[in-house]
Amino acid sequence: MTVTPVPAEMSLFLGNYVSDVFKNKRNEVKVLSLISKKSFSELLENALSSSIDRFDWSFEKILDRENFVLSKGNLRRDLYVRSIRSDFYVLENGPYTYVITRGNKRFIKSGIYYLIRKLYPEVIMAYLTSMDIYELLNNFRKNKEVDIYYKRAVSKNMSGEQDTDVTYKRKVVKVDFREAFRKASSQEQWVDKILLFTDGFRYHFNLSRDGILKFKQGSFNDYWSLLVQICDRYMDRVKLFSNRSRLDQPYHRTKPLIFPFQEPIFDDVIIRNQFLDIIGEYPFCFYSVVHAGNPHIHVNVVDKLDKSMYSLRTHSSNSIIIGPQIKTTEASIMRILKYLVENFREANIVDLSGD
C-alpha cells in the first residue's frame, strides 16, 4: 500500500510539537481521526466565532501544500468548576482530518469532542471494531517489520462490563498482541483499547475503538501510515451509510442496513430488555418503542442533532435492521452504530438494499 507522505515543512512543525510534548516523560500525543465533508479548518473557525460559550481561542492556518493543510489552535473553555485549556494542530488531507494534541482526557471530551458536535453532520467521528484494530496492528507489524507486544488490554462484554488484562507491572514481559484478541474472543468479549510496544520501545502506543491513537514514543511520521488506514476504514463506512434517505430514492423506497449476530440473542428476554435500556440511554435522540414483544423489537429514533429518522427492528432474533426514513444522514447512522458497537455488541454491517 502506497501512502502519500506528509509534506516536509508540515512534518517539521509536527515533529517539533511532538518533541515539545515529550519533554515531560509522562505526556503523550493524542491523534483523533475524522472525516470532514467540507474544509474542517473553515468549519471550526466558524463554529468558534459564532459560539455563545465562554471560549478563549486562537486558530490559524500555517501551511497549505500538496493537498495538505496544517493549522494550529489554542483553546480554553470555562466549565462549571474548572477550565480546560491546551493547544492542538489540525492536519487535513482531503476529507481525512487529524486533530493532534497534548491535551488531557478532559480537554478532549469537553473541548475537542464538544466542538466536533457543533460541526455535525459535516464532520463525522467514526469508530473501529475490535477486528479493525487487530487488522490495523497486523498491517503495522508487517509494514514496520517489527514484533508488537501488549502491556494492557481492556475488553468489554455484551453487558458493558470491562476486563483489564495486564501482562506486566515492572519487569517487561513480551506477549504478542494477538494473544489479547484471542483471550477476549474466548471469553465472548471485544478488545476496546490496547496499549502496545515494540522491542526497545521504539513504538509505544495505544489504540482504541473510538479511533484515538495515543503514542508515547516515536514521531508523528512513524504512525502516519496507521492513521491513514484508520481513516480508510472510516471512509468505507461513510460510503456504505451514505445516500440512505428515502427522500432521495425512486418511489421513496427504503435502503436498509442489517447489523447481524452469530447467535439468536433476541430469543433471550434479558438481552431484549438490555437492548431497550441501551437505546433509552443513547444521547441526543428521541425514541418511541413501537413493539417490545417476544422476540420482536421495533423502535423509532429521531436524531436531535440533525433530525435524521430511522427505525431499529429485530430480524429473525439474530440481527437488527436499520431502516432509514425520509431524512437519514450517514453521520447519524455512524453515531448510532458507534454507540451500539461500544455499548451492546460488535457486528459487520451489511447492505440490504440490493444496490
107: CATH: 3.30.310
CA distance 278 to 159: 10
Reported as a single tens digit per residue, the pLDDT across 151-197 is 999 999 877 788 999 999 889 999 999 999 999 999 989 999 999 99
CA 333 to each of CA 108, 300, 325: distance values in angstroms, whole numbers, following the listed order:
23, 13, 11
HEC-encoded secondary structure of 255-276: CCEEEECCCCHHHCHHHHHHHH
Report yes or no: 136 and 207 within 8 Å, Cβ to Cβ.
yes
257 and 297 together in one domain: yes
Is residue 342 domain-shared with residue 261, that is, in the same domain? yes
Per-residue pLDDT, averaged over 16-35, amounts to: 95
Q: What percent of the chain has pLDDT over 70?
A: 98
Is the pLDDT assigned to residue 134 strictly greater than 90?
A: yes
Pair (172, 274) in one structural domain: no
**119 and 153 housed in the same domain:** no
- Would 178 be classed as within a structural domain? yes
Q: What is the pLDDT of residue 297?
A: 93
Q: Is residue 217 part of a domain?
A: no
Residues 348, 279, 116, 121, CA torsion sign: positive
Q: Which one of 106, 124, 142 terminates a domain?
A: 124
User: Is 226 a member of any domain?
Assistant: no
pLDDT score recorded for residue 219? 94
How confident is the model at residue 231, as a pLDDT? 97
Cell readout for 335 is: 453515531
345 and 246 share one domain: yes
Domain range for 49: 8-124
Same domain assignment for residues 77 and 119: yes
Q: What pLDDT shows up at residue 2?
A: 77
Boundary-marking domain end, from 99, 124, 149:
124
> How far is 156 from 133, CA to CA, in rounded Å?
14
Strand-strand pairing, 285-291 and 298-303: antiparallel
pTM, full prediction: 0.94
Q: How far is CA 251 from CA 90, 206, 246, 292, in A?
A: 42, 47, 8, 30
The domain tally of the chain equals 3
Count how many residues are written for the chain: 355
Q: Determine contact, residues 280/287, Cβ cutoff 8 Å.
A: yes
Is 119 in the same domain as 135? no
Mark which of 98, 124, 150 sits at the end of a domain: 124
Percent of the chain past pLDDT 90, that is, above it, reads 76
**pLDDT beyond 90 at 206:** yes
Q: How far apart are CA 287 and CA 22, in angstroms?
A: 46
- Report which secondary-structure segment, H or E, holds 350: strand 350-351
Letter string b/e over residues 171-182, b meaning 16 or more CB atoms within 10 A of that residue's CB = eeeeeebeebbe
- pLDDT-derived band at 212 (thresholds 50, 70, 90) equals very high
| Statement to judge: residues 29 and 105 lie in one domain | yes
For residues 282 and 198, state if they share a domain.
Answer: no
pLDDT in tens, 235-245: 999 999 999 99
**309: amino acid identity, one letter:** M
Mean pLDDT over the full length of the chain? 92
What region does 162 belong to: left with phi over 0, alpha with psi -120 to 50, or beta? beta
**pLDDT at residue 209 in the model:** 95
**pLDDT in the model for residue 161:** 82
Q: Is residue 237 part of a domain?
A: no
Q: Mind listing the pLDDT tens digit for each residue in 268-301?
A: 999 999 999 999 999 888 999 998 877 789 999 9
Q: What is the pLDDT of residue 1?
A: 63
- In this prediction, residue 354 carries a pLDDT of 65
